[in-house]
Amino acid sequence: MTRRQRAKRLPEAQWYSIRPVRSLKPATYTCPLCGHRLHAMSDHVLVAPEGDTSRRRHAHLECVAAANLPGRPGQPGLLSRLLGRG
Ligand SMILES: [Zn+2]
């Protein structure tokens, strides 16, 4: 249980704003979906519950894709477009 509490989890929300990000900061984040680390300098995505950037989380693109998070109403297909470009 302690382990679960320590893990960063994605806040619950009706929808999530997802945008690709790559930082030049030598930081390491913990992906809220798989619990593994991710480097800021790798290609990843920023997930903001209902567009609330104060609750944003850095996550692996593949984890977000697998989680099939609901996107912003009226803006479907952002993630598919991101994935389709690779
Ligand atoms: Zn992940």
pLDDT tens string 26-77 = 999 999 999 999 999 999 999 999 999 999 999 999 999 999 888 888 765 6
**HEC-encoded secondary structure of the chain:** CHHHHHCCCCCCCCCEEEEEECCCCCCEEECCCCCCEEECCCCEEEEEECCCHHHCEEECHHHHHHHCCCCCCCCCCHHHHHHHHC
Top pLDDT among 77 and 21 is at 21
CA of 59 relative to ligand 1 center, distance in Å: 6
User: Residue 42: its pLDDT value, please?
Assistant: 92
Domain ranges across the chain: 2-85
CA of 9 relative to ligand 1 center, distance in Å: 11
CA of 45 relative to ligand 1 center, distance in Å: 10
